[in-house]
């Protein structure tokens, strides 16, 4: 009898260890959704590396090690997302405090009136902080095309803000960056 079929081996390993691993992960995560994400990552790794999973009853311990590393990655991701959320809240609060509530809505409306391609290229540059070459990679086009799209999008945004009778210079560097190409 030859080596077991990888699919069969995986299915047996899954059935034998799923409940215990789920309990292990569930005790270490904040929600059932997080637990499912970590378990999914654990068994995805097991499937991708099925030839590396030890035999002789050691698969269970190997899976616990994979789950432990998946949990560590999950917790690091949560910490990064939490720090990002705090930074964005601070940034948005500072942005909102720099202008009147009426202007805030008008600026949002001016931005929304732009086409989706203009909004995307402006957001990638100013909000995500991507450089021209990076935007070109994201959008799947040349650097020259990105420069042209940015130029045109900034002009259209300036026109929309002028129609709304807004002086974008009052709103700080982030708003100016949208128009001047600094962001």
Better-scored residue on pLDDT, 3 or 52: 52
Does one domain contain both 106 and 173?
A: yes
Q: Say yes or no to pLDDT of 6 above 50.
A: yes
Domain with 146 in it: 100-180
Q: Assess if residue 148 is contained within a domain.
A: yes
pLDDT score of 168: 60
How many angstroms separate the Cα of 48 from the Cα of each of 18, 53, 58, 103, 182? 17, 10, 17, 53, 44
Does one domain contain both 10 and 69?
A: yes
Angle in degrees, 0-180, between the axes of helices 132-139 and 143-163, rounded to the nearest 10:
100
Closest CA to 21 of 74, 72, 60: 60
Burial (CB < 10 A; 0-12, 13-18, 19+), residue 66, is buried
Does one domain contain both 81 and 10?
A: yes
**pLDDT tier at 104 (50, 70, 90 boundaries)?**
low
Q: What does the alpha-carbon distance between residue 170 and residue 165 come to, in Å, rounded to a whole number?
A: 12
pLDDT score of 183: 39
Q: What CATH number is attached to the domain comprising 61?
A: 1.10.1740.10
Sign of the CA dihedral running 157, 160, 164, 165: positive
Q: Assess if residue 108 is contained within a domain.
A: yes
Q: Assess if residue 121 is contained within a domain.
A: yes
DSSP 8-state symbol, 3: P
Q: Assess if residue 1 is contained within a domain.
A: no
The mean pLDDT of the chain is 82
Does one domain contain both 13 and 44?
A: yes
Q: Say yes or no to pLDDT of 1 above 70.
A: no
Q: Which of 49, 66, 87 is the last residue of a domain?
A: 87
Better-scored residue on pLDDT, 49 or 102: 49
**pLDDT tier at 154 (50, 70, 90 boundaries)?**
confident
Domain count, the chain: 2
Better-scored residue on pLDDT, 113 or 102: 113
Does one domain contain both 61 and 26?
A: yes
* 26-47 residue pLDDT tens: 999 989 999 999 999 999 999 9
Q: Are 121 and 149 in contact (CB under 8 A)?
A: yes
Does one domain contain both 58 and 104?
A: no
Q: Which of 87, 110, 126 is the last residue of a domain?
A: 87
pTM, two decimals, is: 0.49
């Amino acid at each position: 009898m030859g080596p077991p079929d990888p699919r069969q081996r995986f299915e047996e390993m899954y059935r034998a260890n799923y409940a215990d691993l789920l309990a292990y992960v569930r005790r270490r995560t904040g929600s059932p959704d997080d637990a499912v994400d970590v378990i999914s990552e654990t068994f995805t790794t097991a499937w991708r590396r099925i030839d590396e999973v030890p035999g002789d009853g050691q698969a269970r311990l190997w899976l616990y090690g994979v789950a432990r590393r998946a949990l560590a990655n999950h917790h690091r991701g949560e910490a990064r997302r939490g720090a990002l959320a705090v930074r964005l809240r601070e940034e948005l609060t500072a942005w909102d405090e720099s202008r009147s509530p009426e202007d805030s809505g008008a600026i949002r409306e001016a931005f929304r009136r732009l086409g989706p391609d203009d909004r995307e290229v402006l957001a990638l540059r100013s909000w995500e902080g991507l450089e021209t070459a990076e935007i070109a990679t994201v959008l799947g086009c040349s650097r020259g095309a990105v420069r042209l799209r940015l130029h045109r999008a900034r002009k259209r945004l300036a026109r929309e803000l002028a129609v709304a009778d807004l002086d974008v210079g009052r709103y700080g560097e982030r708003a100016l960056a949208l128009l001047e190409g600094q962001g």
